[in-house]
Amino acid sequence: MDYAYYEQLAKTASDFSIDKSWTQGRSIFGGLTTAVVLTYIEAQTGLSDTDLRTINIHFCGPTAEDVPCQLRCNILSQGKSVIQVEGELLQDNQVKTKIVACFSRQRKSNIQVTAPQMTFAKTVDELPKMPFREGRVPEFVRYLDTRFTSTALPYSGSSESTVSGWMRFNDYPAVFSDSAILALVDAWPPAMMPMLKEHAPTSTVTWNVEFMQPRTPLSAADFLYYHCDVAQADRGYAHTEGKIYHPNGQLLALSRQLVAIYDKVE
């Protein structure tokens, strides 16, 4: 079942399971669980006249394949221009993914600062698509079209701590939603992974994404550009900072993650 299937399912159902093809190690891919919770929130609250501004995600436990998931949401606060909503994905009454999303209605202001346009060193057509090699990459990679522009690959023992490239789904949804953007952003390996000399587990603990508004509309077939660096890493954890760009170079979102690294077994 591709991404569009689960996004549509989250609009109409609050109880469903996710199949093995979306696994990442022992858990369902966190980008997908985040995306379905956000989709559910938007469907239940009807916030169609608002912009998604920020989303804070906590991965509280692994989401198991083929086990019923329950979705629920709750409006925490609702003012004239800002609405904050809590959403959760549960299995067996245990919270697995929890998010707090902040939506806003546009207001007039004299303050306007525009982020610099990104100039891309290589276009999509200049880069090979990352192949899906079963057993060597996470299962969910089969649904993605990712093209690395960074030269140091995961587990290469590099001194570089950067991951960048182009991304979209193989079978893209009809509308390029904020939920789809979230799923794509989380699909990239953590930026410290090229520094590892051999395979070692990593796990995102918390994740924050801030969306820029207003922005140029995206067409369903567009590629997004992703660039992420390690801000600091030590004592088994890394803080990463990423930026997501429209194919026209416009900044779309900022992404920050706390990632646990298990390269030394104690």
Neighbouring residues of 222: CB distance < 8 A, sequence distance ≥ 6: 168, 176, 246, 247
Whole-model pTM: value is 0.94
Question: Other CB atoms closer than 10 Å to residue 19's CB: what's the count?
Answer: 13
Using CA atoms, how far apart are residues 209 and 223, in angstroms rounded to an integer? 19
Question: Other CB atoms closer than 10 Å to residue 82's CB: what's the count?
Answer: 14
Look up the CATH number of domain 3-106+118-261.
2.40.160.210
> pLDDT, tens digit, for every residue of 3-39?
999 999 999 988 899 999 999 988 999 999 999 999 9
For the record, the structure tokens of 248 come out as 């026209």
Using CA atoms, how far apart are residues 104 and 84, in angstroms rounded to an integer? 9
DSSP 134: B
CB-facing half-sphere around the CA of 132: CA atoms within 13 A: 13
Position 255: which residue type? S
Give residue limits of the domains in the chain. 3-106+118-261
Mean confidence (pLDDT) of the chain: 94
> pLDDT, tens digit, for every residue of 141-165?
999 999 999 999 889 999 999 999 9
Residue-level pLDDT at 266: 62
